[in-house]
Chain A
Amino acid sequence: METKTEKISRNGGIWKGYIYLLPILIVLITLDFYPIAYAVYISLTNFGLFHFFSFSYVGLANYSLVFRTGLLTTLLIHTVIFSVGSILVMVPFGLGMAVIMNQRELRGKYIFRTMFLFPWAFPAFVTILIWKGMLDYNLGIINKILAYVSISPVNWLGTGNLAMLSLILVNLWLSFPYYTFVYTSALQSVPQELYDAAEMDGYGALSRLTRIVFPLLRRQIAFISIFGFITAWNNFYLPYLLTYGGPGVSTQTLPIYTYIDAFANVQFAIGSALSIISILILAIAVIIINHYSKMMTILY
């Protein structure tokens, strides 16, 4: 393999590859690394509404401020509830739907497939705002349907815990197609003969799943779940558009608070400090999860 690569590159020399990679390297450095370094720098100053033109270096003051005031704890709790809650409903739901869709004797698979694509295919930005209208306390269609079956209206977006539940349920709606399809293609990578052999050996449907399919797909399932956790942790549009962190602060997550604090409250330094903390926690969580899931692979 390596010799072939060298054969191709010999014509242009070793630097030729860099010419093609120059644009992406420029993008990486100027629009990714430099801004991140800049965010670290801003987080160490008192740059904000009160020190807009003459700001100065304040060390870790912003970091200790968010720790001391309990702001970080509040935001972290919300972010963890939202992202872990999303994963806990999305992964089993997606896997279950994939297992159901993978049945051979199922008719009309194509129709269901197409209908399940709807939430994925319509831009999330648009559908989140549609959900916001549907979940409205007084005027929303969901409460009208509930009233139709004589259930008293539910203040979905106006009560703290229910607002978080709404976020997770709308997130489930937005992302279950992705999980269903990705898990379906993972399931299809398991050879049909294995299922058949297991069925002949008298395994039931459930033990076929737990004894054969899940162990085989352990790594894919772990990877997709980690990916989903990162996406949920960083999710900006859903909480921003659906609840704007409300009611009160009960659904403020790290990404939206960072944005609101920076651009609505003009507290750039604190916003930057929070986003740096967010990245550090995410990185540690991913390393731990990845380490753990890899360990599982070896232990198995």
Chain B
Amino acid sequence: MNEVNDQTEKMFHPASKAKIRNNSHYRRMRSIKLGITYSILIIVAIYAVFPIYYVVLMSLSVYTTLAVVSVSGLLPSLGTLTSANYYNLLYHEPFAGWLGMTLMLTGISTLSGVAISITSGIALSRMHVPGKRIILYMLLIITMFPMTIMIIPLYFMFHQLGLIHYYGLIVPYSAGAIIFSSWLIKNYVDAIPRDFEEAAQMDGYTASGALFKVLIPMSRPVIALSVLLAFLGPYTDFALADIFISHANHYTLAIGLYYASQGTITINYSVYAAFSVLMGLPIFLLFLAFQKYIVSGFSLATYK
């Protein structure tokens, strides 16, 4: 058995395949193909990275306006690099206050949103609920709806309740991620064998106790993804925040960045770039750290 495996492996190994068809034509074709592949990959990589590289470079440069940026300035030289833009942003602009406002809002809504998503995801996967299929269809249909249809009625509902201000945003923000995250967690939990919670039940846990004690630790990857998604929604929301928040002290980073882009984009681009980097970089690093979960989580959501 092993020998057969060895043989097939040898046969399909690229090196031995090259030996099978060891003629110069084949080799030339192969190197041309690899050359084309690498050129495409490098061009696409530049396309992918350039805007981020550009904004990081701008945020570290002494140029202040977009007008003085030149093509030769795209290669950094030590003389033009500075951290002054970050210093200015953190100590002089209202950035710190906006960051605090954003983190409080996103923190509360992420916690409540993910808690609800976990209980609903597990219940939808494991519990016998009459009408479960209808609920699942509803969840799927709601994810297809554009958020702009919700904004007009939400505005008036919250207006009647007197909740058109900063704190009123907690409710729609918490709700924002619940639908998709519950769907994700439900699909993930579906793939976990039931033996685990049955074993826990044997050990004396109650039925629902066993479910949560066993399944929450086992679905850590999808919960991490839900946390990231629940955080990202309010963190980068502009459409709702702009109509809910009127007081500049309560601005979130997204509103601040938007209005900065309207005003200072040509006047003080370096500080604006530093703002963009400070807002984007934490998400970027989190995303890279969780990339395995994110890619598999999204694949799971789209195939089911």
Name B34-85 residues within 8 Å CB distance of A: 34, 37, 40-41, 44-45, 47-49, 51-52, 54-55, 65-67, 69-71, 74
Q: Counting CB contacts under 8 A, is B192 at the interface?
A: no
> How far apart are the CA atoms of A236 and B147 in the complex, in Å?
8
Question: With A17-B127, A125-B236 as given contacts, are A144 and B70 in contact (CB-CB < 8 Å)?
Answer: yes
Given contacts A20-B120, A126-B276, A140-B66, contact A275 B52 (CB under 8 A): no
A-B contact pairs, 21 of them (CB 8 A): A9-B207, A17-B123, A17-B128, A24-B120, A27-B178, A32-B145, A35-B157, A101-B41, A105-B14, A106-B37, A116-B48, A119-B51, A126-B257, A126-B280, A139-B67, A141-B69, A220-B303, A234-B144, A240-B239, A263-B243, A278-B149
**Residue of A20, A112, A123, A134 touching B232 (CB-CB under 8 A):** A123
- Please, which residue of chain B has its CB at the minimum distance from the CB of A237? B238
Q: Is the CB of A133 within 8 A of B66?
A: yes
Interface presence of A97 (CB below 8 A): yes
Of the candidate stretches A57-65, A159-167, A208-216, A223-231, the one touching chain B is A223-231
B284 interfacial by beta-carbon distance below 8 Å: yes
Decide yes or no whether B249 CB sits under 8 A from chain A. Answer: no
Q: Which residues of B contact A177 (CB under 8 A)?
A: 48
**Are A112's CB and B128's CB within 8 A?**
no
Q: How large is the interface on A (under 10, 10 to 19, 20 to 34, 35 or more residues)?
A: 35 or more
Q: What's the least CB distance linking B1 to chain A, in Å?
A: 16
B254 within 8 Å of A by Cβ? yes
Return the 9 tightest CB-CB contacts between A and B, nearest first: A17-B129, A17-B127, A121-B287, A20-B123, A234-B146, A38-B153, A35-B153, A139-B66, A125-B236
B248 at the interface (CB under 8 A from A): no
Given contacts A8-B211, A36-B153, 20 further A-B contacts (CB under 8 A): A5-B126, A6-B128, A18-B129, A28-B139, A32-B175, A34-B157, A35-B157, A36-B150, A38-B153, A116-B44, A119-B51, A126-B276, A130-B55, A133-B272, A139-B67, A139-B69, A177-B48, A220-B303, A234-B144, A276-B149
Shortest Cβ distance from residue B273 to the other chain A in the assembled complex, whole angstroms = 8
Cross-chain contact of A275 among B146, B207, B235 (Cβ < 8 A): B146
Complex Cα–Cα for A202 and B152 (A): 60
Which residues of chain B are near A133, meaning CB under 8 Å?
A: 66, 261, 265, 269, 272
Q: Mark A25-65, 1 if CB is under 8 A from B, else 0.
A: 10110011011101100100000000000000000000000
A199–B17 CA distance with the chains assembled, in angstroms: 10
Q: Are A31 and B152 in contact (CB under 8 A)?
A: no
A35-B154, A114-B288, A115-B48 given as contacts; is B149 within 8 A of A279 (CB)?
A: yes
